[in-house]
Amino acid sequence: MSTKIKGAEYPLSKIFSSDFDYEIPSFQRPYAWTEEEAGELFDDLYEFYRNEAEDEQYFLGSIVLVKEDDKPHAEVIDGQQRLTTLTILLSAITSKLSGDDRNDFKNYIIEPGRASQGLASKPRVHIRKRDNDFFKKYIQELNFEALFQLDPEAQDTEAKKNIEKNAKLLMDKIDEKLRSLDEIIRFGAYLVQRCFLVAVSTPTRQAAFRIFSVMNSRGMSLLATDIIKADVIGAIPEGQHADFNERWEEMEVEVGRDGFNDLFGHIRTIKTKEKARKSLQDEFYEYILPDIHAASAIDFIENTLSPYSDAYRVIKNSAYASTTGADAVNDILKWLNRIDNSDWVPVAMEFYVKHKDKADQMDRFLRRLERLAAYMRATSWDVTHRIERYARVLYDLETHGGEDFGEAIELTREEIQEFLDKLNSDMYKMVSKKRNYLILRLDSFVSDGAASYDSRILTIEHVLPQTVPAGSQWEADWPDEDERRQWLHKIGNLIPLTKRHNSQAQNYEFDVKKEKYFKGKSGTTSYALASQVLGYGAWTPKVVKARQKELIAVYVKNWELKL
């Protein structure tokens, strides 16, 4: 068998002909183009159709195939997103036609079969097995009316959702832009005659994977994990492709496409224990899998990717499972996931992989990790210093075991004091993400974990208002302006509320403010801190000072900040 690589430019009339019988192999990622990519493709095609001279050609990019010269069967290594979307577009156009015109265009979607040439009738593009029956029934057999009766969100795969949404989008664009039957036919003719793809083919998967790794695609932007996958899977003996590719795909589906790319970044951090200096792809080959061959590729999937993928899924979804202690662990994970950076994730992943069967240790370690993460966020550590600190924790995890987590995860006396000073400062003036985390975390401590925080609208409000009306009870209770400024923005004077900002309500007298602003429609509030305020009969400097002391004591107890 020749291993020669061939490449040629073909119009879509040739791409969607008996010369090619496309199969999307099971190890490929699902159909992932959204309405954004499908809409952009149509708009580009339509703009060219309207404005370019009739002899101009439109280049759609390249596809990479495993294909022998004398056989139509073509395994698609790169290009499935465009081939699938172009099939949807051609099917939508065909569905608008009738008679001979419909039969003509349908030939680009389904091989009509010719007994004299031994050709059976069949679709020209076969997508991944999990989604192929759906694609054939509704798109290739032109059942758009039935398709649009379905709820896309009820489909059991993201690919089916994308197929339905993109079909509806493309059909709407055809109705909007192509106002007559003649115009639809002219646009369809332009697609098959003047739009070209370069088909690069080779008879072996290994060669196709190498091509895929270096080519720039006009299709969906490749993530580093797509290139890594091509190299890793390409190194595995072909007889084992199906098994390992299915395992890889299941992991990618479980954590999501972007999450899967993040996962590889976290694995890189665990292995290197330092901030990234090169691209993820370069550092993967340098530090994690420098010598890719069959044994190392299989070992990577089984002993690195699989356990860390499980760890990432559990940590990001707060989905820890255990016969005892799971709720406590998941509660801490939920709070860690509220921190507006993910630098802590590799540490949590590494500990999970080593100690996932010990819920009590998971709980104790994650509590310390959340305290460290909250301290660094509250005191504004930059990303470089955060990663350096977490790297020290990772080093400790390599050399310590059991109950000893090492020194790096603990706060020094100086750090505890710095944390307490920050908690005692004007918290309201902090950036909103930092402030909201500290206040909601305090609320969770006060409520003993009973409160939930699913509200989309959160405001942090002052009890003593920022503007004290002249002649008000506020002015009588707080006559000293310097004292007002000293306590106005501190945690003792702040509460979380689930409602939109109301500048007028902010200045109500305390009794009115409690009834009309701090309470919800049911006469209660979702937050423990706000409920406490409802119990006070007055809001004086003495009350706020005592409350400040009490709330700091709550932080000290729950985050173990005792000096």
Domain limits, the chain: 6-222, 223-317, 329-410, 427-559
Q: What is the pLDDT of residue 134?
A: 95
Give the H or E element holding residue 497. strand 494-497
Q: What is the pLDDT of residue 309?
A: 97
Provide the total of helices (H) and of strands (E) in the chain, helices listed first: 26, 10
Distance CA 104, CA 85 (A): 19
Closest CA to 266 of 330, 336, 353, 343: 343
Is residue 222 pLDDT above 60, yes or no? no
The 10 Å CB-count burial string (b at 16+, else e) for 368-378 is bbbbbbbbbbb
Q: In 10 A of CB 229, how many CB atoms? A: 26
Residue 374 in tokens? 């909250």
Identify the band that residue 220 occupies on the pLDDT scale cut at 50, 70 and 90. Answer: very low
Distance CA 372, CA 378 (A): 10
**Alpha carbon 36 to chain centroid, angstroms:** 16
DSSP lists the bridge partners of residue 10 as: 197
Which tens digit of pLDDT belongs to each residue from 16-50? Answer: 998 999 999 877 778 989 888 898 899 889 988 88
Residues in the chain: 563
Closest CA to 187 of 175, 199, 198, 202: 175
Identify the band that residue 431 occupies on the pLDDT scale cut at 50, 70 and 90. Answer: confident
Distance CA 140, CA 266 (A): 41
pTM: 0.66
Give backbone dihedrals phi and psi of 155, rounded to 5 degrees, phi first: -70, 150
Distance CA 419, CA 376 (A): 9
Is residue 219 pLDDT above 50, yes or no? no
Residues 441, 442, 446, 452: is their CA dihedral positive or negative?
Answer: negative
